[in-house]
Amino acid sequence: MTKNRTEVADIDRSLYDFTYGEEGFERLDAGITPDIVREISAKKDEPQWMLDLRLKSLEIFNRFPDPTWGPSIEGLDMDNIVTYVKPNTDQKHDWESVPDDIKNTFERLGIPEAERSYLAGVGAQYDSELVYHNMQDTASKMGIVYSGIEEALHDPRWEPLIHEKFMTLIPPTDHKFAALHGAVWSGGSFVYVPKGTKLDFPLQ
C-alpha cells in the first residue's frame, strides 16, 4: 500500500512582524513564582478558588518534566519571561474608544473589518488583557452571553458555572504547559449559549 505524505506550506508571518514601544504598559517581574501568581490574581481581584487553582497549577508545572514530544525547548528560559503585561487601557465596548496604537494593531490584522462584515461578536486581546469586546444585538437578544471571562468571573450569575467548568476539558494535569496556562492565564472570552439556541454567525 502506498502511503501519501501531506506537505503543509508555512504561513507568511510578515503580516504580524511589527512592534510598538512599551510606554504606558504595566509589567510584572520576569519569572514564574508563587508571588507573581498571587500578584496576577490580586490585580484581577479573583475569588479564592481561582487563586488556589493558579497555585496548584504552578505546583504541577514545577513538578512535571519538560515534554519530549514536539520541538526542542532546550533554550526556553522561563525565568526571563514576563507573564503579565497590561496595556494602557481598560476594556472598551466601542471600537472608537480604543487607544489609537492598539486600534491600529487590530486594523492591520483586519479585525474591525471582519466584525463589520461577518462576525456576531469580537473579543480583542492585547498582551495580557482584553481591550475590546462587543457583540451584535441579534446574538444578545437570543440570550447568548459573550463577554470577557474576567468580567464574567465577577458576575454572580456566571461565577459558579466558571468554577464548575474552568480547565476541565484540558486540566492542568494534562501536561506541563497546560499547568503553566492554569497558573498565569490572563484575559479571554466567556461564552454562554442557552440550550437549544443556534447561532449562525461565529464569535471570535
Q: What is the pLDDT of residue 70?
A: 82
Residues (pLDDT < 70) of the chain are 1-25, 87-106, 109-137, 203-204
Q: What is the pLDDT of residue 111?
A: 62
CA distances from 123 to 28, 49, 63, 145 (A): 24, 25, 34, 12
Spell out the residues 6+ positions from residue 54 whose beta carbon is closer than 8 angstroms to its own: 37, 40, 41, 182, 183, 184
As a three-state string, the secondary structure of 58-72 is HHHHHHCCCCCCCCC
Burial class (CB in 10 A: 0-12, 13-18, 19+), 45: exposed
Q: What is the pLDDT of residue 199?
A: 79
Q: What is the pLDDT of residue 86?
A: 74
Give this prediction's pTM.
Answer: 0.70
Q: What is the pLDDT of residue 115?
A: 55
Sign (positive or negative) of CA dihedral 68, 69, 71, 73:
negative
The long-range contacts involving 183-186, CB below 8 angstroms and separated by at least 24 positions, are: 183/32, 183/37, 183/54, 183/55, 183/57, 183/58, 183/61, 184/32, 184/36, 184/37, 184/40, 184/54, 184/83, 184/84, 186/40, 186/44, 186/83, 186/84, 186/128, 186/129
> Kindly report the CA angle at 120 between 115 and 124, in degrees rounded to 5?
50
For residue 48, the one-letter residue type is Q
